[in-house]
Amino acid sequence: MIDEKKFLLDILDEAGYTVMLRRFYMVNHRPERTKVEYISPNSGIIGSKANVILEGLRLPEDFIHPEDRQKLAESSIQARMTGEKVKNTIRMIADDTKLITVEFTSVFVEGDENEQLFEYIIKERPEPQTQTIPEILESEAAEPQDVDSFLSENKVLTIAQTITFFENLYSTFVTLDGKNLVRPVGPETYLGIFYDMFERPMYKELYGRILASFETSQTPFVSEMDDNMEGSYVSAAPIYMNGELVATWLICSYEKETSAKIGRISQNQWNIAKCISEYLDGIYANDGRTTRLSEIEKKLEAELSQKKVITTTLDEMRTDIDSAISNMMKDAGELLSIDSVAYYVADPGDAEAFILKDYWDVNSDEPDEFIMNEIWGIKKYVEKTSDERGLDGYIIDHESLTNQVRVEVFQGRARALLLYPVSMGSTIMGWLAFVNRKEERVWTEQEIGFTKELTRITARGLRKTIGEDSIKKTNQMLLETYNHVRACIFIKEDKTGTVLFSNDTLNKLLGYDFVGKDSRRLIQDLHDKFEDVKGMRKSGLDTGNVTHWRRYINAFDGIYDITQLKMNWDGNVPASCVILRIARD
């Protein structure tokens, strides 16, 4: 019997078509939010993946060239107004940074003033453009007749804007008169307001302050915008040619969540603007062009390569978080040209300790003593000193490396280190370390920002594991860790006492697999008989879910300290994790 759905999908795949259904939720005739309800599984033909878009990890706009996004929005409006199919040829940015030209057909399906559903039919052209970023830059080498036209026609400005659309920010380049040199880009939500900004009186006053700041300061201009919108911010950086100011790069945000990113990326914006100035200066003057072109290529390619690692990791996390983090460590290590990346998680047997969970090394499959244990000596040393660079985590490089760390801690086994906490709220759940052994180096702001973002993604993976019906995955991760600790650990169902899991240490001590047995054969539950025993100790942070006590265990002929933690097992089954350690005092 023919599977009709598979048959139709095979036809679409064979013909080179991708189909997407997207619903727009409207407020005051503008889309406030959108949801992709369906995208055919063959979306890889345009350099993306269906699951990434459906999960909301990437927006369809992320794959569209910034200059073509407005064209796509206009075709959707036309399709709704006329009720006819509207075709356009647009460029899409694939995950490998190549430009692919596709035929994009917009079809209005149904809707009203509140909701509108559109169908998009996408087909890659038979002879797609495969220009890389360096090739685009190379193609813009011709010398223009005037500065403004040269800037507006040169694609390096558009390429720089692609960095901001990954952050859901709004970006444009303007002349000294405040007029747009390129098409403003950003998410659909406030794009109309962003366009309108350049026609409002407040903009002239704001732009005057921006230009004045460039004359007196060599730091990024970041300020709130007086537009009666709470949380709106602007960051500005100058573009110079032959030592003279010729344009300004503006990045704006209209929401508190995205405005928090403005301060973080403003220095990167400033640095990229300096690179653009050098590049444009070299092209315009036709002096030292090759060298400057190479520098800007490397910086822009590094930005895009880092974004690729981030988006790939987010994609892989939806199916296998541990594997995604492992691949992320390898990709990041190779991209940063460092020697080792290590991931530590909380030791279930010691609340103050962390144990190595995953590891990547450019030369070895096995971690050495430095990675296993001695890295914590650096952490303890830094905790006693101030972090001069004012960054979260611990940054050790040529600028901050003291002779004491060189001699007493590193001892030649490491020469630069980034060590970040993997946190959930105020609780540290693990650590991520980036280690360079070959030579001392100074971590760039771009590298620090990249590694901090990877740490945030790792924390996001933990949150995803713990939340959204993933308790089973959390248990499995913990169980794998429990099998490598020395303490005896078992998990029992509270109602029956049946053992659901026992680690290798306990099984070896008992001489048999404890799973499926009655836990009361080994030890009675504290609340069965010992609830009123004097001297029972509880954790200072106890909320009723964690209890501690000590007792003699017949099977082991010894006195043990016992910790019992309430938990849920495989869904919502009430259970307890019991940790047994030989009493030391």
In the predicted model, what is the mean pLDDT of residues 429-443?
85
Torsion sign (Cα): 426, 427, 432, 433:
positive
**Which range has the worst mean pLDDT, 51-65, 333-347, 495-509?**
51-65
Asked if the model's pLDDT at residue 146 lies above 70, the reply is no
Q: Which amino acid is at 145?
A: Q
Categorize the per-residue pLDDT at 583 as very low, low, confident or very high, splitting at 50, 70 and 90.
confident
Which range among 94-103, 336-345, 388-397, 414-423 shows the weakest confidence by mean pLDDT?
388-397
Could you give the 3-state DSSP secondary structure of residue 539? coil
Residue with tokens 């998410």: 187
Residues 6+ apart with CB under 8 A from 147: 241, 246, 284
* pLDDT given for residue 289 in this prediction: 47
Which tens digits make up the pLDDT trace of 26-72? 887 777 778 888 877 666 655 556 677 777 667 777 778 777 888 88
* Element housing 158 (H / E): helix 156-165
Evaluate if residue 388 carries a pLDDT over 50: no
Query: Does 533 have pLDDT greater than 50?
Result: no
Q: Band of the pLDDT at 526, cuts 50, 70, 90?
A: very low
Which of 14-18, 137-141, 411-415 bottoms out in mean pLDDT, i.e. has the lowest? Answer: 137-141
201 Cβ contact partners less than 8 Å away, ≥ 6 residues apart: none
Asked if residue 471 has pLDDT above 70, the reply is no
How far is CA 451 from each of CA 141, 169, 227, 333, rounded to the nearest angstrom? 34, 21, 35, 10
What mean pLDDT comes out for the span 333-338? 91
Average pLDDT in the chain: 75
Q: What angle do CA 190, 196, 200 make, to 5 degrees?
A: 130
Q: Which of 332-336, 403-407, 493-497 has the lowest mean pLDDT?
A: 403-407
Question: Model confidence over 349-384: pLDDT tens digits?
Answer: 766 678 888 889 988 777 777 777 767 656 665 555
Tens-place pLDDT, residues 182-230: 888 888 788 888 877 777 778 888 888 999 999 888 888 998 887 777 7
pLDDT per residue as tens digits for the range 75-120: 888 888 888 888 888 887 665 556 778 888 888 888 888 888 888 8
Q: Strands of 427-436's sheet, edge to edge? A: 350-361, 340-347, 427-436, 416-424, 394-396
What value does the mean pLDDT take over residues 506-524?
88
What does DSSP assign to residue 47? T
Q: Which helix (H) or strand (E) holds 564?
A: strand 558-569
Taking alpha carbons only, the member of 499, 478, 452, 472 closest to residue 569 is 472
Q: Is 163 in contact with 232 (CB distance < 8 Å)?
A: no
Partner residues linked to 235 by β-bridges? 222, 251
* pLDDT given for residue 130 in this prediction: 46
Under DSSP, the state recorded for 62 is: G
Return d(Cα 465, Cα 210) in angstroms, integer. Answer: 45
- Taking the CB of residue 505, how many other CB atoms lie within 10 A of it? 18
Instruction: For residue 188, give the DSSP letter.
Output: S
Read off the pLDDT of each residue in 428-433 and give the average, rounded to a whole number: 85
- Whole-angstrom distance, CA of residue 430 vs CA of residue 432: 7
The reported pLDDT for the residue numbered 571 is 56
Nearest to 449 by CA among 400, 395, 399: 395
